[in-house]
Amino acid sequence: MPKKQSKEHKIKISPTKGRPMLNWVGKRPLDYVKGYPAVLMEVFDSLKTNLKYDIPRYESLEKNWQNPLFYGDNKDVLATLLEQGFRGKIDLIYIDPPFNTGVDYVRRIRLKGIKSEQIEGEWYSPQEQVMYFSNFADDAYLQWMYERLQLLKELLTETGSIFVRMDYRFGHYIKALMDEIFGKDHFVNEISVNRTQKIFIGVKGFNVAFDSLFLYQKSDQMKFRNVRKLRKKEIQWLSMHSPGIRHPRERKVFGKIFVPPEGRHWTFTQERIDKELIPQNRIRISPSNPKILEYLQSKKELLDSDWSDIPGYTISNTGYPTENSEQLLDRVILTGSDLGDLVLDCFIGSGTTAAVAQKLGRRWIGCDINKGAIQTTSRELQKIISEQIKKKKIKYPSFATYKVNNYDLQLLRTEAIELAVQHIGIQRTKTDRFFDGTLGKNLVKIIDFNHPLTLLDLQLLQDELKKRPDEDRNITIVCLGKELAVDPVIEEWNKKHPVNKIGVIELKTDKKYGNFLIHKSDEAKVKIERKGNKAIIEIKDFISPTIIERLNIDNTVFKVKIPDFRAMIDCVLVDTNYDGKIFHVVYSDVPEKKNDLIKSKYELEIPKNKTKIAVKIVDMLGEEVIITKEI
């Protein structure tokens, strides 16, 4: 039986003492955070090492490491890591948080072999999934980042470092935050990183070509490995005579004695000339002067803060428009860590940080609030680990997925809000940092669906309206439910205000919009039978009502047909001895290429005694269905 975890604990956070300090409305340094239970959901362990930690405590993992992947709000996850003994244990942190650009992060979902077009004027096509909103009020965004940076500092080792990627809009604010939290004297570099594409800001001003990567150290003991990059300039032959390096004046090369001019000295020792330069054909007699030797400079040079020689983002089959390139993470991890060191990314996205760490023999921790990000990361890691096992080059062969603070695995918060927008007919406003859009002539504010409309929400709305004295539109609040105390406050507000009157659409009870959250789960027909000591599994049929609804097949605008149900399936996972709680991935069918279909038929070894087979099918939108059978 797994050990019971208490619901929450207070973990003390060190005060920030750096200067200068940036101030904003509502600034609150963290004094304490609460740790939450981490519930083990899934284990990938194809080598059958039988590692399974119900609670991801550092003291347990340290003895026999298994990489953890967390699904939940990263603030909750970081607090849980502190509670579980990870304080001062992380060697390297890389994060690429939302930039607060006002543009949502959208993952492109492409069904395999299916083509559809976007309706003109719509914000998102039926095959686009909103992964993250990046539309905070400035003060709220600074507080959001401030809290997470404080927690990240607590987790770093004294020799550790942190890389934070930002763009030109908020990068200077984040640097000021990091000066305060880590100390201005612990700033190391601002590195230039290529964007996916340049931002064209108009005729007045230069187009934006780079993002910034801020590197800070926890202390003066930072671990740092300066790697090399290819030279931009053509390879050149340079004179062997360089000032400042004093070696004996004579050198014997090609059977001749060479002496540099007065005041010049040899760069290389005789031993290096004999054992390296001559065998590598990197030395020659100058064609212009037979008394001078020349050498071919190295193809690589020491890395500086200009990383424009590599792509900052990449385009792959994950569907993420801002997927960090493996070249970028390779460089970050090689400079800031050694074999076996622990790397953390709490905005894991498509999983590039974990993937590169896995390839480079580092331990890793990944975290994301988005279910699709967790599934994408898991799928990519399974492929990498399987390949490493084939090549017999594997250091950490398993990982476990945990859920923190009971996040709903069935419906994404961002997906729910976007569905509400479409269902009600809200016109999204991308330039407003507080209101989410308009409905007719009214401004719309959508309350986070994780809680009902509260008096605090109303206070924040009223505070925002005070900042906009010329605003004369009424307000529509969209929420799942509301506290009893809300109605009299709204009634009193509306009596006193001839404009900015507040109305509420409560999605649980509203007559017109009240049924939008009726969610139809995926359905699958799977045949599972025993044949001796083998399980014969065949997926006969599969349907995702959400995908069908998104494609809107009956609409005259779309002429989309799904000729093969496998086009809707992202991957298939099998547990041959399912205990009903933790899913052990014994077999995974993860297609190599984005247009490849799953196999749908499997023959797997199983225990001789009666066992429960579980087949997990993940669709292209990240929703799951599990089919089980005892055989």
- Residue 186 pLDDT grade (very low, low, confident, very high; cuts 50, 70, 90): very high
Percentage with pLDDT > 70 across the chain: 80
Q: Looking at per-residue confidence, does 180 or 372 come out higher?
A: 180
What's the chain's average pLDDT? 82
Half-sphere exposure in the Cβ direction for 199 (13 Å, CA): 11
User: Do 397 and 423 lie in a common domain?
Assistant: no
Instruction: For residue 213, tell me if it sits in a domain.
Output: yes
pLDDT beyond 80 at 145 = yes
Q: Three-state DSSP class for 184?
A: helix
Mean pLDDT is lowest, of 176-190, 214-228, 263-277, 330-344, for 263-277
Reported as a single tens digit per residue, the pLDDT across 411-441 is 455 666 777 787 788 888 777 888 989 999 9
Check residues 233 and 521 and name the one with the higher pLDDT. Answer: 521
C-alpha–C-alpha distance, residues 285 and 253, integer Å: 9
Tell me the angle at which helices 74-83 and 138-155 cross, rounded to the nearest 10 degrees: 20
Q: Which of 122-126, 131-135, 265-269 has the least mean pLDDT? A: 122-126
Q: What is the pLDDT of residues 213-264, one digit of tens each?
A: 999 999 999 999 887 666 655 555 555 554 444 555 677 888 788 777 666 6
What CATH number is attached to the domain comprising 589?
Answer: 2.60.40.730
The per-residue pLDDT for 481 is 82
Instruction: Examine residue 561 and state whether it is found in any structural domain, yes or no.
Output: yes
The beta-strand segments (E) located in 51-203 are 67-71, 90-95, 105-108, 128-132, 156-166, 187-199
Q: Give residue 264's pLDDT.
A: 67
Beta bridge partners of 12: 32
Q: Which of 38, 82, 86, 92 is nearest to 60 (CA)?
A: 86
Q: Which residue has the higher pLDDT, 388 or 256?
A: 388
**Residue 104 pLDDT > 70, yes or no?**
no
pLDDT band at 317 (very low <50, low <70, confident <90, very high): low
Please report the pLDDT score of residue 362 as a whole number: 97
Report yes or no on 129 lying in a domain: no
Q: Which residue has the higher pLDDT, 402 or 513?
A: 402
Asked if pLDDT for residue 388 goes beyond 90, the answer is yes
Token readout for 517 is 């959250």
The mean pLDDT of 139-143, rounded to a whole number, is 84
In this structure, the answer to whether residues 313 and 379 fall within a common structural domain is: yes
Task: Give dist(CA 473, CA 85) in Å, integer.
Answer: 51
CA angle 128, 101, 204 (to 5 degrees): 120
pLDDT of 285 reads 80
Sign of CA dihedral 541, 418, 75, 214: positive
The region of weakest confidence among 168-172, 528-532, 615-619 is: 168-172
Q: Are strands 342-345 and 90-95 parallel, antiparallel or unpaired?
A: parallel
- The predicted pLDDT at position 560 comes to 54
If asked whether residues 34 and 86 sit together in one domain, one would say yes
313 and 176 in a common domain: yes
Instruction: Give residue 299's pLDDT band: very low, low, confident or very high (50, 70, 90).
Output: low
Do 590 and 498 fall into the same domain? Answer: no
The last residue of a domain, from among 404, 434, 452:
404
List the domain range (segments joined by +) for residue 266: 237-296
What mean pLDDT is predicted for residues 142-171?
A: 94
246, 268, 296 - which closes a domain: 296
Mean pLDDT of all residues in 258-281: 77
In a domain? residue 127: no
The yes-or-no verdict on residue 115 having pLDDT over 60 is no
Model pLDDT for residues 16-46, shown as the tens digit of each residue: 877 778 888 888 888 888 888 888 999 998 8
Residues 270 and 175 in one domain: no
**Percentage of the chain with pLDDT > 90?**
42
So what's the pLDDT on residue 122?
Answer: 33
Mean per-residue pLDDT, 83-102? 88
**Do 241 and 143 belong together in one domain?**
no
> pLDDT-derived band of residue 101, with 50, 70 and 90 as boundaries?
low
* Per-residue model confidence as pLDDT tens digits over 545-581: 877 766 654 444 444 567 889 988 989 999 999 998 8
**Domain annotation covers residue 512:** no
The yes-or-no verdict on residue 135 having pLDDT over 70 is no
pLDDT at res. 293: 75
Q: Is residue 391 domain-shared with residue 531, that is, in the same domain?
A: no
pLDDT tens digits along 352-367:
999 999 999 999 999 9
Beta bridge partners of 536: 529, 603
Average pLDDT over residues 493-506: 93
CA-based torsion, 431, 433, 437, 441: positive or negative? negative
Q: What is the CATH number of the domain that holds 187?
A: 3.40.50.150
Q: How confident is the model at residue 527 (pLDDT cuts 50, 70, 90)?
A: very high
Ranges 65-79, 196-210, 258-272, 468-482: which has the least confidence: 196-210
pTM: predicted TM-score of the whole model, two decimal places: 0.69
Residue 241's pLDDT is 52
Within a domain: 232: no
**Which of the listed residues 380, 404, 428 is the one where a domain comes to its end?**
404
Domain contains 113: no
Q: What is the pLDDT of residue 124?
A: 38
Whether residue 530 is contained in a domain is answered as yes
How confident is the model at residue 117, as a pLDDT? Answer: 42
Cis status of the peptide bond prior to 97, with omega within 30 of 0? no
| Confidence at 514, pLDDT banded by 50, 70, 90 | low
Q: Do 190 and 50 share a structural domain?
A: yes
Greater model confidence, 145 or 312: 145
Q: Which residues are within 8 A (CB) of 338 and not within 5 positions of it... i.e. 6 or more apart?
A: 91, 223, 225
Residues 392 and 465 in one domain: no
Number of domains the chain is built from:
4
Per-residue pLDDT tens digits for 593-613: 777 899 999 999 998 899 999
Q: Roughly what angle, to the nearest 10 degrees, separates helices 371-390 and 352-359?
A: 20
Q: Residues 181, 327: one domain?
A: yes
At 127 the pLDDT is 45
Q: Quick one: DSSP state of residue 276?
A: I
576: helix, strand or coil: coil
Could you give the 3-state DSSP secondary structure of residue 413? helix
Looking at the structure, tell me whether residues 502 and 426 fall in a common domain.
yes
